[in-house]
Structure 1
Amino acid sequence: LELTREYIDQVKTEIANAEEAIESVKQILHGESCGNTCFLKRKEVSEQLNISMDTLRNWEMNGLLTVKRRKNGYRIYTEEDIRQLKIIRSLRCANYSLEAILSMLSQLAEDPDLDIRKALDTPRPDAEIIAVCDKLITSLTSAEENACQMLCMLQNMKRRFGKPSS
């Protein structure tokens, strides 16, 4: 019973994290630009956002971000790139899949008034593989419901078959 309660608490925490990430994305998208055009190198961005340079490379290779380059081949990150990286970081920290994030970013580029929650929770129709993290909130809600049912069944079994306490 205790493990089931702990599991339910953990799932609720994951749902809260997923919802918080969506709110973070909305705040980042509606945040005011400081007006300054900044150009940062990968190492500077990595340090500023507290993510590894390998993570930045991975996100770029997976199409989440296209970074401009200088003539010498060095990547330069603009304020818009950093804003997008903050969105990706927030969603990854909440366990959204790269596929779900990429799909949402693509849809967002076409429709700035997009329902972010729905976009993240609805895999693309042409997706060959749909992972649990591509329907994160739906999957977590289902897991919570199943665990609550399990908890009720365990409590009934304890009442029915448990020894009376002395």
Structure 2
Amino acid sequence: MFTIKTYKTAEVAKLVGLHPNTIRRYEEWGLIPTPKRAENGYRIFTDYHIDTIRIARVAFQIEVLQAGLRRQMILVIKALAAYAFKDAQEALDRYIALADREMKRAAEAITIVEETLVKKEETAHIELTRTETANKLEITTDALRNWELNGLLTVKRMKNGYRVYTEADLKRLKIIRTLRAANYSLEAILRLLHALDTPKKLNIKNVLDTPDSSEDIVSVCDKLLTSLEQAKTNARKIKKEIDQLEKKYGQSL
């Protein structure tokens, strides 16, 4: 047995390095157990609250959104808030499996891009409309328009103003389609396309996973492979911490 220490909201905030309002948000979102109240209405927190908050901070340090990864991690933390250690571990196992799947998809996309780049272009002259191009690539015209607006592709126009997509455009679009399907960000894809326009020999994986120093804002998917690997590392760390929580608190809850 051990003595249960109690803390006020401000004390918890100071210990975990968060604003008191954030602690209250954790309570509202169900990420920590609902604290008991003192006679004066003040919340009474325990070491378990502090431990779960610290785990939650690790859990959401790398917020990979695709494939339901963030939702899955929320289930992990909410299970801990309910003292359901087994449920938390099972949800964490599913999270790691999802991260593995996303890493596999990301790696496979790189292989497809490499194969696309070495494949010889057709000799036949091709000029397709936006709709014809979308149909051929099995994507929407809205996706095409979005990629063009984001600078991934510049399409020449005929005298009547209509866009014309060539074989080279199709090859570029296949690369974009493959990488977007694997959840690479538009910024990462644009970085690769710019690199492909240079005569240098490229390591596609490194280009996709290494934001340029000139980029003001870098998101998780701008360095997808690194982010997924870090998310898995954090998940394994959380797995060990949940074991420790269960050993520490399991008999007293």
Q: Identify the TM-score tier after normalising by the shorter chain.
A: over 0.9
Equivalent of 1:114 in 191, 202, 210: 202
Equivalent of 1:80 in 168, 177, 183: 168
Aligned to 1:111, the other structure's residue is in SS state coil
- Report what 2:239 is aligned to: 151
Give the Cα separation in 2 of the matches to 1:92 and 1:119.
Answer: 15
- Report what 1:49 is aligned to: 137
The aligned amino acid for 2:125 is: T
TM-score normalised over the length of structure 1? 0.92
Equivalent of 2:179 in 73, 88, 91: 91
Provide the identity percentage. Answer: 46
Give the Cα separation in 2 of the matches to 1:8 and 1:113.
Answer: 34
Give the Cα separation in 2 of the matches to 1:116 and 1:86.
Answer: 15
Give the Cα separation in 1 of the matches to 2:213 and 2:248.
Answer: 47
TM-score normalised over the length of structure 2? 0.61
- Report what 1:104 is aligned to: 192
- Please report how far the alpha carbon of residue 136 of structure 1 lies from its aligned counterpart in structure 2 after TM superposition: 0.7
The aligned amino acid for 1:3 is: A
Q: Where do 4+ consecutive residues of structure 1 move more than 3 Å?
A: 155-163
Aligned to 1:75, the other structure's residue is in SS state coil
- Please give the per-residue CA displacement for 1:27-85, whole angstroms capped at 9, x wherever unaligned: 11011222112111100111111111111111111110011111111111111100100
Query: What is the total number of aligned residue pairs between the two structures?
Result: 163
Give the Cα separation in 1 of the matches to 2:158 and 2:104.
Answer: 40
- Report what 1:68 is aligned to: 156
Q: Residue 14 in 1 paired to residue 102 in 2?
A: yes
* Structure having greater relative contact order (Cα 8 Å, sep ≥ 6): 1
- Please give the per-residue CA displacement for 1:74-130, whole angstroms capped at 9, x wherever unaligned: 111111100100100111111111111111110111135211100011111111111
Structure 2, unpaired ranges of 5+: 1-88
Q: Residue 39 in 1 paired to residue 130 in 2?
A: no
The aligned amino acid for 1:19 is: A
- Report what 2:83 is aligned to: none
Q: Which has the larger radius of gyration?
A: 2
The aligned amino acid for 1:72 is: N
